[in-house]
Copies of this chain bind each other. A is one copy, B any other.
């Protein structure tokens, strides 16, 4: 059948869409290594909560001073986790005067979501 023909679509690899989708085709080592980095960044309860705190924020931005007290951890530890999330491309930040603000990067999240989706909802109308 043409099943294998279809898959080739999504993997342009140029814009960051990356990777054909988990169900679509086996990953090569490079793709797997890159995606693993992202999932590893999500593989910690503290980072997940941090990310959800940031991503669910109405204004789209959160000051670190609002994040730290939400955890029973030291300030350096929170800072460390934020750094990992940022290095993974899941969030970004900016210093604005005294405070540092973080926000989520939806593109990375959606990319991972698309990768995991098994029922390829062919929403790619483009």
Contact = CB atoms under 8 A, between A and B. Distances in A.
B121 A110 contact: no
A113 B106 contact: no
Interface in A1-59: 3, 22-27, 29, 32-33, 35-37, 39-49, 51-53, 55-56, 58
Contact of A113 (B41, B42, B43, B113): B113
A27 B48 contact: yes
B25 A52 contact: yes
Interface in A68-126: 104, 106, 109-110, 112-119, 121, 123
B117 A109 contact: yes
Interface of A: 3, 22-27, 29, 32-33, 35-37, 39-49, 51-53, 55-56, 58, 104, 106, 109-110, 112-119, 121, 123
